[in-house]
Amino acid sequence: MIHLRIVAPRELSEQALGLLCESDSVCNVIWLEGAAREPEGDVILADVAREDASVVLSDLKELGIPEHGSIALEEVDTQISAHAERAIEKARGAVSDAVVWEEVESRTSEQVELSGVYLMFMVLAGLIAAVGIYLDSPILIVGAMVVGPEFGPIAGFCVALVQRERKLAWRSFVALAVGFPLAITVVYLATLVFKATGITPDDFSAADHGLSDIISSPDFFSFFVACCAGAAGMLSLSTAKSGALIGVLISVTTIPAAANIGVAAAYADWDAWGGSIAQLAINGVAITLSGTATLYVQRLLYRRRRVRHLSDPSRAVAGLEIGRSRYSKRVGA
């Protein structure tokens, strides 16, 4: 279930109450008249089945509540209620497959911020991967993959492509365009220091280090695995199965490829340098393509659900047009 906290002016709260009380997939509706002070209005609390959360939220947004008040969402982990069980039964589909698009947009928006913390994680992940390359240590390479925050901006770019949000696409692109070059530069400089101080050997080649050789030798399976990881990552991000995201992070070779670019450049191993650039590009493109395709299919399924919901009697109770959304002339938008 998704718990909603709605702040709305009086003239809109009555419409919202009618909508929520009439919806079969909504339960536990509470009306606190005049409880809100800034902005002034009523507070409405309700629980909605996750499968229908986005369509109900679309109706609330169509009423204009976000412009005059607010809507807050919170995941309900456990609820013991016969009313809630009936609401979930009324909503079509499986809970684990449901996508709350407002939740997806919020998550990706937070993860694409070009902040100091994001850049630090990129640098630290790159340095850990570099040490893994020096020592030929799979454990350190895996650790670097987990630490790296690069999947957030890539996912944000996928969401932006599907939702056609230019600002989110630009923010995601900037985060990647700044984060990767910074990590590569720091690894390059650190490698030069290690080399000059004798911490790492004077000579280093990918041919003598198995992990570096694998990273700098992209092939069909590099593309295939990245495609699978991109699809799994978007499914994890958009549904309730967030635990799978760790496995996705471990399966993509973006941070190790970036680190290997810096290491190879410091040792003037230009074959490994070029191969690592190709590996990074292949992974980035494959994740973006498969992630966008996955999200697009989910969006099409949501639009079909939205089309059906536009004929729901609850819309008439709220004063909304049946069979049509005010956001678009085309039914189902």
Tokens of 130: 């570099």
Eight-state DSSP code of residue 320: P
The whole-number mean pLDDT for each consecutive block of 10 residues of the chain, a chain of 333 residues, reads 93 91 92 91 93 91 91 88 87 76 82 89 96 91 90 90 90 94 97 90 74 89 91 82 59 88 93 94 94 92 86 85 66 40
Phi and psi at residue 179, in whole multiples of 5°?
-65, -50
How many C-alpha atoms does 194 have within 13 Å on its Cβ side? 20
Q: Residue ranges per domain, the chain?
A: 2-98, 104-303
**What pLDDT is stored for residue 329 in this prediction?**
40
Residue 10, burial from CB neighbour count under 10 angstroms (0-12, 13-18, 19+): exposed
CATH number for the domain whose boundaries are 104-303:
1.20.1080
- Reduced to 3 states, what is the DSSP secondary structure of residue 254? coil
Looking at the chain, which runs of residues are DSSP E strands? 2-8, 26-37, 40-48, 70-75
Residue 198: which region, alpha, beta or left (left: phi > 0; alpha: psi -120 to 50)? left
- Judge contact between 187 and 259, C-beta under 8 A: yes
For 113, 170, 179, the CA distances from 116, given in Å and listed in that order, are 9, 18, 10
221 Cβ neighbours under 8 A, 6+ residues apart: none
For 139, 298, 321, the CA distances from 61, given in Å and listed in that order, are 48, 21, 14
**What pLDDT is stored for residue 66 in this prediction?**
92
User: Around Cβ 73, how many Cβ atoms within 10 Å?
Assistant: 15
- Reduced to 3 states, what is the DSSP secondary structure of residue 333? coil
Eight-state DSSP code of residue 244: G
Q: Which residues face 3 on adjacent strands?
A: 47, 74
Tokens of 19: 């909508």
Phi and psi at residue 52, in whole multiples of 5°?
-105, 10
Q: Which residue from 109, 98, 106, 105 is spatially nearest to 235, judged by alpha carbons?
A: 98
Which CATH number does the domain 2-98 belong to among 3.30.70, 3.30.1360, 2.30.180, 1.10.10? Answer: 3.30.70
290 Cβ neighbours under 8 A, 6+ residues apart: 226, 227, 228, 229, 230, 231, 234
**What pLDDT is stored for residue 245 in this prediction?**
60
Evaluate whether 2-98 and 104-303 have a shared fold: no
